[in-house]
Amino acid sequence: MNGLWLKSLSLITTTEHETHQAADTLVAAAGHVAEHGGEHVAEHAPEFPNIVEILHHYFPDSVFVQLISDYMIVFFSLIVGLFLSLLAYAGYRKRSMIPGPAQNLMEWVVESLSDMVITLLGEQGRKYIPFIGSLFIYIFSMNMLGLIPGMFSSTAKLNTTLALALCVFLYVQWSGIRNLGILGYFYHLAGSPKSTVEWCLVPLNLPLHVIGELSKPVSLSLRLFGNISGEDMLLAIFAGLGVTILSFTHLPIGLPLQLPFIFLAILTSFVQALVFTLLTTIYFSLMTHHEEEHS
């Protein structure tokens, strides 16, 4: 598998002679684009080839390969979901007073996430622990999957991060309506006015609060997508540079220039999952705060 992956990685690198040819081709293409108005131009960010792309390269006529290639993001998301399900089953199946490694790991993760949520939301935040905890574990696992050779981070695509952010947005709004009621929810969007001056500012505060709520899924999705995709691009660029340096050997090997950045990517994967989870908890906290005032 490593040899196949290295061979596929060599497809995205060029020798010095091929680089000059590519540059000449690029100049000619630029002139052609300028002549024809720049239509049908596609730019591709550098990234590691994953197992689906490798299979599609070698078996382009396979129906199954074409199917998973079309739904590559869903495919790798399902891999993460299956792995987490098996891990949870392994930790839950053999429960004991003296926990084994799997049970000990699961209990530590659950307790840590529970403490974080309860610290921010109080005891009434226990009902949000399953959702918030699942978000963190799922996002962190998807981030880390991309660091495995041949795998792919679904969070490096806006489709995934926007879907996660929309789930958070809809759940937060539904929780606000359920806890505050329809009138209380719109009273919250209006800025919870109490004085005459605050009521006069409702026409201004209401659209501002609505825009603020709508901006939450946008900021959540773009932040996670930008950091993870940038992380993957950085690793691919340095890996390609390492292969280019040794291109005179005509072998699909290179200097591991990306190695120091892998440790940074692990930290970034954890931090981005934590930031996404903390912001989600804060959004619930804002609704919980108004729920207490309403009561």
Higher-pLDDT residue of 184, 15: 184
User: Which of 100-114, 133-147, 279-293 tops mean pLDDT?
Assistant: 133-147
Q: What value does the mean pLDDT of the chain take?
A: 81
Write the pLDDT tens digit of every residue in 34-84: 344 333 333 556 788 899 999 999 999 999 999 999 999 999 999 999 999
Helix and strand numbers (H, E) in the chain are 11, 0
Q: What is the mean pLDDT of residues 119-135?
A: 91
The CA distance from 227 to 157, in Å, is 11
Give the amino acid at 232. Answer: D
Q: What share of the chain is helix, strand, coil (3-state, %, to 5)?
A: 80, 0, 20
pLDDT digits (tens, 9 = 90+) for 198-234: 888 888 888 888 999 999 999 999 999 999 999 999 9
pLDDT at 295 over 80: no
Total residues belonging to the chain: 295
Neighbours of 238 (CB within 10 A): 20
9 versus 185: which is more confidently predicted? 185
- Please enumerate in sequence order all residues whose Cβ is within 8 A of that of 115, keeping only pairs 6 or more positions apart, or say none: none
C-alpha dihedral (218, 223, 224, 227), degrees to nearest 10: 150
Q: pLDDT by residue (tens digit) across 69-80? A: 999 999 999 999
Predicted TM-score (pTM) of the model is: 0.79
- The ranges assigned to domains in the chain are 2-20+45-294
